Structure 1
């Protein structure tokens, strides 16, 4: 029994020794690395920077009232197309009592003066017809009478203007009807019937009755970082994408670069504006957020390869070209424009060359 036990232990020990030698042998063997390869392709390289912003109308006009008062009627709503001169709203003037009192007093004084001048004129007229007084005296009294009549009419018109904002002699012209100063689409009507409005003056910008804009002429307004603004020039082509309109790219052309930057979040940002080229019957809502790819440089139909295959030594750039299966040799190359992923190949490679992709 002891012999069998010893023999079994020897077998187990021998098996362990053999397993250790096999394990060490396998660990010592090197597994050959198989490298992937890429071939150059013909394509386009576009070097660009991205500006974020929004699309707004080029001309957006805020319509203000010419008189203060209460809105009695609103004739338009957001989305309506209107022409220059169309009615937007009507207001009722609420005059100040001090002004009304002064205007009424002026009317009363002008009426008394007119009645007195009328009596005097009629008396002079009778004397003139009787050949008692000279023509010059009659004409002087007639002038006083006509002036007093005009003063009364002016005082009455002034009172009517204060109370109603319009006089009989003005006809359809009135400050109580607010009309559009431009043609376009109504973007917003921030007031409602019954709201009080204030006219624009030296101390107040005035209440906005409506915002009107020409939606056929839109611009992209965005900002770029100070590190990129030096590369921009007016007239550059922009490829604009709108978040709300999927799979649609719009053309735009840079027309303004701000000469002064503004600090935002610790970085200096410069405002840019670009004219958006809309297709026929295409409509974009004002305020859409958008990203604009500004094309700084581009190469069309050139030999390109992925930048990850490039290797650098000092000032030299080279790649490893496969000469036999998994056998590579270094070859210097000359590169051109890069977009950060692909790079233009000027010299050193052809379409048939297989280039080693280094492992990370």
Structure 2
């Protein structure tokens, strides 16, 4: 019985030993590497750089007032289209007290002069009727009367302009603000009751309304100094407006700034491009946009993924499959790259299979 137990025990040890050896041997054998392959393909390669910026109207006008005062009534709201000369707002005058007092004093002085001239003209008229003065002497007093009368009317008009913004004879009222150009009202920054300051040689004055021609839009953006030497006027741009989930807008580059500007430690150059508008999508002022500037383009060319390319000094290679899981290095000539795909000028055919790196 004891002999049988010992034999069973030794057999168990032998089985364990053999199993362990087999396991370790199998584990030590590495699985063969299977390489995946791909083929060249025909595509269009576009090399481009990106400019960030916004879309703005080419012409934007701030409508200001010729007089200071309070906005009494507004005739427009943002989004309306107006013509040059259309009423925008009416201003209640708030004249300078020193100017008003001076105008009132001038009018009072002119009235006194007119009354004196009128009295003297009446006296001279009586003398003329009695043939005590000559006609030429009478005409001198009549001229003085007419001049005094004109001065009084001028002083009255001046006071009316200061108080009300218009004269009795004038059709143009300075406290009635009118559009200075055709376009769309973009903003009416001040509401009724707000005080505004007149425009003068010392300042632009308070903006009553901002308007622009929304049929003539431009892209205004910045290009890095490393890319600005690669672009030129007349190049095509594709605008991606993030707020509009539609097809990109096309534009034509028309201006590159001759001077760079510091933008967070890097030098960038301002560019402007004329935007071709869409009939389906309304392009609003100050939309953020990215512009893809097409530097070069190749249509329907043979290409490979650039990650499958081997580069040694100035030479370019790929590994072409010669038999299943067997590859040979082949030199090729490459062309334009967009950073993902690269053009194959020569050295490969569309039927070739190359190793994926």
| TM-score category of the 2 structures, normalised to the smaller one | over 0.9
CA contact (8 A) 1:44 1:300 kept: yes
Matched, 1:47 2:47: yes
Distance 1:250 1:349 in 2: 37
1:131 aligns with 131
Contact 1:243-1:289 within 8 A present in 2 as well: yes
Any idea what the Cα deviations from partners look like across 1:249-293, whole Å, max 9, x if unmatched?
Answer: 111111111222222222222221111101336421112111111
- Please state if 1:255 is matched with 2:247: no
- Distance in 2, matches of 1:310 and 1:95, equals 78
Indicate the larger mover: 25-34 or 100-109: 25-34
Q: What's the counterpart of residue 119 of structure 2?
A: 119
Give the TM-score, by structure 1 length: 0.95
> What SS does structure 2 have at the residue aligned with 1:245?
coil
Larger displacement relative to structure 2 (14-23 or 46-55): 14-23
Paired position in structure 2 for 1:142: 142
* Residue matched to 2:219: 220
Quick check: 262-271 or 158-167, which moved more? 262-271
- Determine helix, strand or coil for the equivalent of 2:147: helix
* 1:124–1:231 distance in 2 versus 1, CA, 3 Å: same
Q: Distance in 2 between matches of 1:121 and 1:237?
A: 80
3-state DSSP of counterpart to 2:117: helix
* 1:332 counterpart residue number: 331
TM-superposed CA distance for 1:222, in Å, is: 1.3
Partner of 2:341: 342
Q: 1:230-241 to 2 correspondence within 5 Å? A: 230-241=229-240
Return the offset for 1:313. 2.1
Q: Any idea what SS the aligned residue of 1:49 has? A: strand
Contact 1:121 1:145 in 2 (8 A): yes
Q: Supply the RMSD in Å over aligned alpha carbons.
A: 1.6
* Contact 1:41–1:304 (CA under 8 A) maintained in structure 2: yes
**Which residue of the partner structure matches residue 298 of structure 1?**
297
Tell me by how many angstroms 1:3 deviates. 4.1
Q: Distance in 2 between matches of 1:18 and 1:355?
A: 44
Q: Aligned residue for 1:166?
A: 166
CA distance in 2, matches of 1:143, 1:12: 147
Alpha-carbon contact 1:261-1:268 (below 8 Å) kept: yes
Paired position in structure 1 for 2:16:
16
Q: Which runs of 5+ in 2 are unaligned?
A: none
Give CA deviations for 1:214-238 in whole Å, capped at 9, x if unaligned: 1111111111211111111111101
Query: TM-score, normalised to structure 2's length?
Result: 0.95
Task: Give 1:278's aligned residue.
Answer: 277
Q: Is residue 242–residue 248 contact of structure 1 (8 Å, CA) maintained in 2? A: no
**Counterparts of 2:131 and 2:222, CA distance in 1:** 88
